Structure 1
Amino acid sequence: MSKILIIEDDTEIAMLEKDYLEINGFETEIIADGKQAVTAILDNSYDLILLDLMLPGQNGYDICREVRDKTDIPILMVTARTESMDKIRGLGLGADDYIAKPFDPAELVARVKSHISRYERLVGTTRKADNEEQIIVGELKILRRSWKVYKAGQEIRFPNREFELLLFLAEHPNIVFSKDALFEKIWGYDYAGDSATVTVHINRIREKIENDPAKPEMIETIWGAGYRLNR
């Protein structure tokens, strides 16, 4: 049974999320304080995090920033703030998706199921593989099946969307893909965001793999066309 951590200080909303998720077969835990949430995430095993933005103790942005490089499970932000910059900021810190309050509980459950299924397809039982296929790009090594990335022998943690995007580009080197094409491939038509999400994730990937993210050589921007991974 998948376990969901609900980080929400509004009791009514937290109980609504809990009830609908448990009706659909999920185990849930509720935490209302931001600082307690960070400890819980790092000390326990969850399959997905539902993260409110406005929390006592520590806000959702800071929680996402603190835990994202330590865990790769899906993070779904639940927020009353619908401005594009707020969404882009959350995605830029490593959130996988967001849903705006007030939300349809059925949509929330559908989003949770979708993200857990995607995550399980990516990493489910394949992390134990040793002799797996790998892609080498300069000093970068990408392991397809175990969902790991190494640069100069040091492992770099990648959330699931970032890994999918990097892997797709690495599997199709020297080909230019538009932002719309990448968005459709990685996020799909049913995702609530837009192609600006691609830019946010490309920037995060560059920060991890480029020697100078301000002058990227591995993932190049082709102005007016899109992005290309040089190999």
Structure 2
Amino acid sequence: MSDKILIVDDEVEIADLIELYLNNEDYTVFKFYSSKEALECINTTELDLAILDIMLPEIDGFTLCQKIRAKHTYPIIMLTAKDGELDQIKGLTLGADDYITKPFRPLELVARVKSQLRRYKKYNPAHSEDEQDLLTHSGLTMKLSTYECFLNEKPLTLTPTEFSILRILLENKGRVISAEELFHKIWKDEYYSKSNNTITVHIRHLREKMNDTLSQPKYIKTIWGVGYKIEG
């Protein structure tokens, strides 16, 4: 069965172009030009990934992202016509996994879709048949086979990207992992740049969910100018 991808963009030409390229990759596409039409699909269809434009009439992409995250953990990629850092940070903070700025190369978007789906399939229990495996650290427990995470026995709701970052840091306890290394381990693509703040925003969001602090971290420690680590 092919993966089901939601596209929401009020620019007809862009939505149709994305649909064409995803159909060529044998994905099942649900395309909408407005958020209101998309909401019914979100509430009734088991999706694997969403591509949301930020600048939508009536209900913007940020709000739609929040509505999805209230019930679902599948990856979300935000499309923005702005190259503004604040838009990118806001989207990631609200639970998006990645963003891409218009105009974009369709093949790059397809590559990012594939990258997100690889992780989602790997860590989501509905797609994974891996043997059970636990990663633990100071009250933090990750169950890889069922995509579950607990902090002091209370469940943590993580996006696929947040889960991936935390898993990598736990698997490499005591070793500093740079933002660039994290980026390549997660996305396995080459579109990283020094100005890319995607990892920084996800780390901050993880800390918020774990009630961790930058100044006195119990879990994720920042090594300035180098990267991040969880003490061994």
SS at match of 1:91: helix
Pairwise CA RMSD: 2.5
SS in structure 2 at match of 1:221: strand
1: distance between equivalents of 2:107 and 2:201?
A: 28
The answer for the alignment partner of 1:24 in structure 2 is 25
* Post-superposition CA distance 1:175-215 (Å, at most 9, x none): 22232332333333423565522211111111112355774
Q: Which aligned pairs between 1:90-109 and structure 2 lie closer than 5 A?
A: 90-109=91-110
**Matched-pair contact (CA < 8 Å) for 1:220–1:227:** yes
Q: Does 1:202 align with 2:203?
A: yes
- Structure 2: 5+ residue stretches without partners: none
1:143, CA displacement in angstroms? 0.8
Q: How far apart, CA to CA, are the structure 2 residues paired with 1:174 and 1:110? A: 32
Query: 1:3-18 to 2 correspondence within 5 Å?
Result: 3-18=4-19
Give the match for residue 49 of structure 1: 50
Q: Deviations over 1:47-78 (max 9, x none)?
A: 11111011112111222233225322121112
Residues 83, 25 of structure 1: CA spacing in aligned structure 2 closer, same or farther, 3 A cutoff?
Answer: same
Distance in 1, Cα, partners of 2:51 & 2:119: 16
Q: Is the 8 A contact 1:179 1:227 kept in 2?
A: yes
Distance 1:127 1:151, change over 3 A: farther
> What is the aligned length?
230
Structure 1 unaligned segments of length 5 or more: list them. none
Residues 182 and 128 (structure 1 numbering): CA distance in 2 closer, same or farther, change over 3 Å? closer
Q: Is the 8 A contact 2:183 2:192 kept in 1?
A: no
Q: Which residue of 2 aligns with 1:140?
A: 140
Name which of structure 1's ranges 182-191 and 87-96 shifts more when overlaid on structure 2. Answer: 182-191
SS in 1 for 2:228: strand
Contact 2:149 2:157 in 1 (8 A): yes
SS at match of 1:173: coil
Give 1:5 shift: 0.8
Match of 1:180? 180
Show the counterpart of 1:82.
Answer: 83
TM-score normalised by L of structure 1: 0.86
Other structure's SS at 1:167 match: helix
| Aligned-partner Cα distance in 2 for 1:93–1:213 | 20
- Partners of 2:32 and 2:58 in 1: how far apart? 12
Identity value in percent: 37
AA aligned to 2:167 is L
| Residue 43 of structure 1, CA deviation | 2.9
Contact 1:132 1:143 in 2 (8 A): yes
